[in-house]
């Protein structure tokens, strides 16, 4: 098992823009595999490269047991209708907030073999794709919260962040074994 340390809020890499992947190499595929293992161990449904300290423009998602790799993704279509739902993030543990997202998106990306494809996501998959693509551009779900809810989330984070020296979250055996109420992205 190759679990990667997860960067948490406060690490500058989470606010940086990523670099497009120019070639899908064996190294990139190993990173993808390690990201899936890390995401599963952390009980998440999505993980973007910056969350594991990397600058490549890639993310992994898994909703309804369907793993998806998106390399150099771009949203090419977005339904105007939106819905609000609670989101969490593996990089901001224990903090949740209601975020409004498009009900349906279509994303164009490369797969783990470097082949172009399109994926249409609705509801939870749509939310996950939008959340992870935001990570690739330095945006976090807390950026969508209103001023009052964001202040409350940040106040709670001030207490939580003490658990993560150096802005790094090392997954523990307890985290593997415990079942979280929320699935985070």
Q: Phi-psi region for residue 33, left (φ > 0), alpha (ψ -120 to 50) or beta? A: alpha
Residue 100 annotated in active site: no
Query: Closest Cα to residue 36, out of 8, 1, 9?
Result: 1
Catalytic residue of the set 56, 132, 158, 162: 132
Q: Give the C-alpha separation, 88 to 181, whole Å.
A: 11
The shares of helix, strand and coil residues in the chain, as percent rounded to the nearest 5, are: 35, 30, 35
Burial of 148 (C-beta count, 10 Å sphere; 0-12/13-18/19+): exposed
Q: Using an 8 Å Cβ cutoff, are 8 and 92 in contact?
A: yes
**Residues with active-site annotation:** 132
């Amino acid at each position: 098992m190759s679990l990667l340390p997860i960067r948490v809020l406060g690490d500058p890499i989470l606010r940086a823009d990523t670099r497009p992947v120019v070639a899908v190499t064996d190294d990139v595929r190993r990173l993808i595999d390690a990201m899936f293992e890390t995401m599963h161990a952390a009980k998440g449904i999505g993980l973007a490269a910056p969350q594991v300290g990397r600058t490549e423009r890639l993310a992994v998602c898994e909703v309804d047991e369907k793993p998806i790799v998106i390399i150099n993704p771009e949203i090419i279509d977005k339904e105007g209708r939106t819905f609000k739902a609670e989101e969490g993030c593996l990089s901001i543990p224990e903090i949740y907030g209601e975020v409004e997202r498009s009900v349906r998106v279509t994303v164009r990306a490369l797969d783990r073999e470097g082949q172009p494809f399109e994926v249409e996501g609705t509801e939870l998959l749509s939310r996950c794709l939008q959340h992870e693509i935001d990570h690739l551009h330095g945006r976090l779900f807390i950026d969508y919260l209103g001023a009052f809810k964001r202040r409350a989330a940040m106040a709670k984070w001030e207490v939580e962040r003490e658990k993560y020296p150096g802005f790094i979250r090392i997954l523990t055996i307890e985290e593997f074994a415990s079942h979280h109420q929320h699935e985070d992205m």
